[in-house]
Structure 1
């Protein structure tokens, strides 16, 4: 349990299920600590290796830091913004409120009101920033290139194309499955796997995908599998990645794949067009367009050397432009502007 006098920034996480926000916090917080920031998380669903405030420590937020500085409450969801507003404005705790927005759609009136109560807002991409009606900074997400890295040369295996994310229509899992049902019969050296959680409301969707796979006679080469906590190792076992989401905020999975030396094909949602260099590190296609996905995937299945070449390009691109150290530095600049030294 961290000492309250050492906590400069609180990163609330009020959701148990694995999500993009979870991945961001897991990767970011250790690097922020290494950079000298006093930061702690608050809430469930995070590994024990991260520093965690206890709920019973919340009354300590009435006291400012030594020197009189307020702490920063760094929210990433509506519920976390609301909690920060209650703590600051109703209970009078010594906090500055910061929100990171990844949404690329018009905000509801409720969300817009929450955002208007923040002391500052960070957008995860220029496109995300275009939906904000308040002054903001743009800090692109980065990736932990120590955790996500290419595989060492190992035992020969069948070539694999992968997709990661919750199994549901919004994530485009059907586009991935339908594309591979079309392509795999022509390319027997390849197999496919989609990993992700299936919630009860989407069980029928997942069952229908499995039925289609079986009807195509591909059950031994095309699978839906459970999400894994060892996702970094999973990326090192694939040769091509597809991110077929129909909607997305930022979308970390292409960065995770490319940092692992894997080329990526995605729709033009989220920050994907700002991450992927079409024709060099993968391809960006019109969102939801099955024919476009098939056309973009097939050259890699036909020429595995192209996948390897674009994988090398992807690795260099991510290491040069999207290392998590850039995000740490960008957020640190925002924190210091929000709470100047000696304030």
Structure 2
């Protein structure tokens, strides 16, 4: 149930400051922007950093924050500073302990790796710590105060009413689409999907694969090797590397795909799987990020071990062999996201947590 905007939230006093320190667009940035789009209707907030903001009036500088937070809110409560990156934790600590800002520090952690001693120290200076998945919670130095999984904009990522027709309209070829989306590099498991396609596509002539994402100069050789393998197998016309596409085109591709692969070695959370499921695509994902917590094997798709070519090929063979089952998995995935992984629910849980923190 959505929380009603209180008179306090609609006052001129800012209650929430959100870190936005990275000038490069990332998954953390995307998450922050999606969540913020709902939070701004629930609480008076500002974003500390101007990067990628659709509404520049929400931006506030470090120095403006320090000045504003010298005093608490009129009701005596302290504002909340929400950090999602290590450097944002540092900014929050400087504000609170050097500039004496009246703020509560909250850190959301997605990383799935052992923390350095300095990061442990920073984390323990927070007033509260949130994990974005049960798995990421296990890598924290202390148990989190809240586990709050990410959500997705279900109104943006919609299933096509007729996936074969939607796929045909994209013009890549074939009757059904398979895709992997994100930066094109080995760590993302792109080679695993391409190798599986090379082995299976003679058996399944109706399928076409797209690899969607930016290719950096350091990964051009990796991509050229994959293209060479496809050409040698005479499958170049069925495996397309699109390069980086405009962001507004991505939901249309998700919508038309029947199967999305997410085969990374590691992830913080991995929104790709939620975007795919929301779009009515079955998923084939590795044991990375929060994917094991999200995907129900044989219901929404399959989970395979990291960097296991045999498992990827075997499960993809099972998925492609039954288009009706593939379609049903997409339907079930959409239901799961609608019931458990909506971004507005993530935003509401955060605001309720911040208010109880005071």
The change in CA–CA distance for 1:67 and 1:286 in structure 2 (over 3 A counts) is same
The change in CA–CA distance for 1:13 and 1:197 in structure 2 (over 3 A counts) is farther
Instruction: Tell me if structure 2 keeps the 8 A contact 1:26–1:50.
Output: no
Q: Secondary structure at the match of 1:186?
A: coil
The change in CA–CA distance for 1:254 and 1:156 in structure 2 (over 3 A counts) is closer
Match in the other structure for 1:139: 148
Instruction: Tell me if structure 2 keeps the 8 A contact 1:268–1:285.
Output: yes
Give how far 1:81 is off: 1.0
1:48 to 36, 49, 54: 54
1:131 & 1:156 partners in 2: Cα distance?
40
Match in the other structure for 1:223: 240
- RMSD, matched Cα: 2.1
Instruction: Tell me if structure 1 keeps the 8 A contact 2:184–2:215.
Output: yes
1:326 & 1:25 partners in 2: Cα distance?
14
Q: Secondary structure at the match of 1:16?
A: coil
1:22 aligns with 2:35: no
Instruction: Tell me if structure 1 keeps the 8 A contact 2:167–2:177.
Output: no
Match in the other structure for 1:237: 256
Instruction: Tell me if structure 2 keeps the 8 A contact 1:39–1:51.
Output: no
Post-superposition CA distance 1:172-208 (Å, at most 9, x none)? 1221222222222322211111212223333333333
1:84 aligns with 2:92: yes
Give how far 1:171 is off: 1.5
Match in the other structure for 2:347: 328
Instruction: Tell me if structure 2 keeps the 8 A contact 1:192–1:221.
Output: yes
1:290 & 1:129 partners in 2: Cα distance?
29
1:120 aligns with 2:137: no
Post-superposition CA distance 1:307-330 (Å, at most 9, x none)? 111111111111112122331232
1:39 aligns with 2:74: no
Normalising by structure 2, we get a TM-score of 0.87
Post-superposition CA distance 1:10-65 (Å, at most 9, x none)? 2212223332212211221112223x222222324424247532326333233432
2:116 & 2:110 partners in 1: Cα distance?
14
2:78 to 61, 70, 83: 70
Match in the other structure for 1:149: 158
Q: Secondary structure at the match of 1:7?
A: coil
1:281 to 300, 318, 322: 300
Instruction: Tell me if structure 2 keeps the 8 A contact 1:4–1:60.
Output: no
Match in the other structure for 1:172: 189
Q: Secondary structure at the match of 1:284?
A: strand
Structure 2, gaps ≥5 residues long: 1-9, 169-174
Give how far 1:227 is off: 4.3
2:117 & 2:223 partners in 1: Cα distance?
33
The count of residues paired between Structure 1 and Structure 2 equals 336
The change in CA–CA distance for 1:141 and 1:77 in structure 2 (over 3 A counts) is same
The equivalences for 1:304-323 within 5 A come to 304-323=323-342
The change in CA–CA distance for 1:100 and 1:156 in structure 2 (over 3 A counts) is closer
The change in CA–CA distance for 1:156 and 1:269 in structure 2 (over 3 A counts) is closer
- 151-160 or 320-329, which deviates more: 151-160
The change in CA–CA distance for 1:261 and 1:9 in structure 2 (over 3 A counts) is same
Instruction: Tell me if structure 2 keeps the 8 A contact 1:150–1:236.
Output: yes
Normalising by structure 1, we get a TM-score of 0.91
1:51 & 1:170 partners in 2: Cα distance?
38
Post-superposition CA distance 1:113-136 (Å, at most 9, x none)? 211111110001112111112241
Give how far 1:156 is off: 6.4
2:15 & 2:187 partners in 1: Cα distance?
37
